[in-house]
Structure 1
Amino acid sequence: MRSETLRVHTGGRETVHDLTRECAEFVAAYDGSASGLLHVFVPHATAGIAILETGAGSDDDLLAALADLLPADDRWRHRHGSAGHGRSHVMPALIPPYATVPVVDGRLALGTWQSICLVDLNVDNPDREVRLSFLEG
């Protein structure tokens, strides 16, 4: 198994950050014809990995839906950090901190409009790590 850590600066705002290019480069660097599984994992209690369409408004729609489901207000028992910080700790139950993508002949087997994205609502932590692991098989 090959593994690597990406460092991602998400800044001080809620974001959906596209990781697809980095994931494709990671897989291609392993072996241009290998097949197996790419596992993407974010080792943070307040971020997740989603596979969705980006660039056509879906990423903004996701952030809007999360704002509706998990409002940034004082209802949360987990209360350190900025207002509504507790919602960031609930989000990984809805958007898990991992995704696994098939790799066929050295290429991510994503659908036409699918992208691999880091979802981060935590404005208190602008820097993230994402672990990429490729298991050939």
Structure 2
Amino acid sequence: MKIIHHFLEITTDQGINIHNITPQVQEFIDSTGIHNGQVLVFSRHTTTALAINENEVRLLEDIKVFLRKLAPETDKYLHNDLHLRDVPEDEPINAHSHLMAMMLSTSEVIPIIDSKLGLGTWQSILFFELDGPRKRNLLLQVSGE
């Protein structure tokens, strides 16, 4: 069994944004020569997340509204008391982003079948930026034969 990894860099926009990374993940799988196995997609940040869902514009807007209701940016959070913590000068006020990320996931594992992602008809791999704009790195790791 082979195990191959790759880092995928994504430049994100301000606030909450959702990126369909399915094409980039499939492109990586194509480059590996793996026909059957699985791919791990792992977010390496505490204010980002991953999910498998439908990549439909109105649903993506509904998801953003839902996340903002779960952790409103204007609520009072202890993590945002920067004067009480040892932080870099550019530390953002982002407790809400951490809480949103906890409601989603940091990773997804997707089967690879005949060199293709084993996703359902309407499923896409969605990357959530919850504290942009930033440059983000995802770890993609394929294992199989």
TM normalised by structure 1 equals 0.90
1:13 paired residue number: 15
In structure 1, what is the Cα distance between the partners aligned to 2:18 and 2:28? 20
What letter corresponds to residue 46 of structure 2 in structure 1? A
- Give 2:69's aligned residue: 68
Q: Percent identity?
A: 27
Judge conservation of contact 1:11–1:127 (CA < 8 Å) in 2: no
Q: Report deviation, 1:59.
A: 1.3
Contact 2:41-2:140 within 8 A present in 1 as well: yes
Cα RMSD after superposing both structures: 1.5
Residue of 127, 133, 136 corresponding to 1:128: 136
Following superposition, the deviation at residue 38 of structure 1 comes to: 0.6
The one-letter amino acid paired with 1:38 is V
Q: Superposed, which structure 2 residues align to 1:32-43 within 5 Å?
A: 34-43=35-44
Query: Letter of the aligned partner of 1:122 in structure 2?
Result: D
Structure 2 Cα separation of the partners of residues 51 and 41 of structure 1:
13
Q: Shift of residue 75 of structure 1?
A: 1.6
Runs of 5+ in structure 1 lacking a partner? none
Tell me which amino acid in the other structure corresponds to 2:53.
L
Question: SS in structure 2 opposite 1:72?
Answer: coil
1:91 & 1:54 partners in 2: Cα distance? 19
CA–CA distance in structure 2, aligned partners of residues 113 and 96 of structure 1: 19
Tell me the CA shift for residue 93 of structure 1. 1.8
Greater helix share, structure number: 2
CA distance, structure 1, for counterparts of residue 101 and residue 108 of structure 2: 12
Q: Could you list the runs of 5+ residues in structure 2 that have no partner in the other structure?
A: 83-90
Of 75, 90, 106, 1:97 maps to 106
Q: How many residues align?
A: 134
Greater Rg, structure 1 or structure 2?
Answer: 2
In the TM superposition, residue 60 of structure 1 has moved relative to its aligned partner by 1.2
How many Å apart are 1:102 and its aligned residue? Answer: 0.7
Tell whether the 8 Å contact from 2:70 to 2:100 is kept in structure 1 after alignment. Answer: no
Q: 1:116 aligns with which of 101, 125, 137?
A: 125
Deviation at 1:82, TM superposition (A): 4.7
Runs of 4+ displaced beyond 6 Å: none
Report the AA paired with residue 35 of structure 2: A
